[in-house]
Structure 1
Amino acid sequence: MDVVLRPINDRFFHEQVLPFFTRAMGDASGALELLASQLGDAQAFTLCQRLAMSALPGGVGSLDSDGWMDLVDRLVFQPWQEGPGGWEVAGAHGGYADEWDEALNLALMVEDPAYPYWDIRASRAVRDSFRLRPPGEQGLASLLAGQWDPFPDFPPDRVFVTQGRGEYAAKERFAFADWAWRPARTVAHWQVNLPRKLERLLAREQERMKLPVLPEREEVLGYWSGRVAQPPPLSVLFSGLGPNAATWIRELGALTLHLRTAAQTKQGLAALVTRGTTVRL
């Protein structure tokens, strides 16, 4: 299983996508017709028309599942911009993808000061529990696990599922699914706090290794923050923690780069748990 992160147009998601999904839960035809009137993208417009023409009265369950999935994928995971004829897809987009368990491990290393990343069994137990019902206070890790914040007006697992995970508890204002998003203001907040969290992680690693000084500390921080193009070729960081630990510096740099880019361009982030080959997009 992989997890994919995509930058999303914050205004498009707020003004078009979220209201569309909310209305589609009970009135799919009306939601499709309204959305189509706002689109300048020929492919999405055609999908809306075809789905509306074949829809039965009711919500998303009345729609052709293949066409619905194509439309959702285009709305959520493509880069949108407002053009003269309405909202349209804006060419190529960047993104991040990695094996889900490894990406969650990296995110928890940054977000959770109590996460036992050095203990294979204990850290896996934390991740397994995290996926079952992801808490909402662990920033990027919560997003990767599918937790929704802010709480949506519709059950996100009714929009689509890939692994069959999901919960929508209105009284608790808690929701999670195989996909989730965060608005641009949240992404910007994460980016502001990221340097402090990365320094905290290195301090924990220095304590774990019982070193008076952590070698390559500034070089690693420079790479994670984008000031240095490449990580140090050899590092004692995370040594002795298993076969994947040697790549954690580089992988965490790729993840922080995606977060930093989204924040700098004032975009939100969408995450999707899927299946497939590990790639970086």
Structure 2
Amino acid sequence: MVGSQIAKVLESKHKDYKLGDLVMGYFGWQSHSVHHGDEPCSLGLDKIKPYVLPDIQGLSPSLGLGFLGMPGNTAYFGFLEICKPKAGETVVVNAAAGAVGMHVGQIAKIKGCRVIGFAGSDDKVEWLKKEIGFDAAYNYKTVDIDKALAESAPNGVDCYFDNVGGEMSSIVMNRMNHFGRVSVCGAISSYNDAVKPKATLIQGMVNRSELKIEGFMVYRWEERWLEGIKQNIQWIKEGKLKYQETITNGFEKIPQAFIEMLEGKNFGKAIIKA
């Protein structure tokens, strides 16, 4: 099973990895690994080789799996490079209380945007509004999404960071302004469906509003990896980024935590402390 770890080096014959170093790598669901060090991990994620966690200035090493790791860089590069937000624009993000979504929303606020989020519980919605300053947030399970957008984005949506796909995305894109930008990060709504769900066609609205829709894999920015981590450290230290982690204790609970993450029960990054 694919899984990223912050692992401690117990023995090393490699000049770049020293005894006691904390290393981020895709070593899988296992307690111990032997790795060459110069090659990417062979778990299907073949772009990033293991790297020693940079100086995170006293923050928890677990953040190397979240805000200071792949999810953080997903938010940093996937939002800024594709959506290219401008101050005063309206941004919509779904799965907004997840590790990537809450990060995107906060970067949007840093850039001076109006931010609307959709999450899966009332508690998450309250946190998004009261703790990290979303301008509006809704429980997608209990609201009419189109009416919610009419209320909170009467002048339309400029940027949409999409983690979910499906009918929600069709609704959001129908509310987008001319030359709106959509960053497609994921499609949570259909990952576990044997029969893929149908959603309203988007081609007409894409054509009419001349939307830009771009999917991405974060490893595109491998050569700038530390840039994202360093900027996110700075924003955390400045109090501009707040994070949440759902930590489950016990290696044997990995399957349970994974299932609960897919069910949306995690708040922020789902972490296993082995």
Q: TM-score, normalised by structure 1?
A: 0.26
Q: Which has the higher contact order (CA 8 A, sep 6+)?
A: 1
Whichever structure has more strand as a proportion of its residues is 2
Greater helix share, structure number: 1
TM-score by length of 2: 0.26
Q: Which has the larger radius of gyration?
A: 1
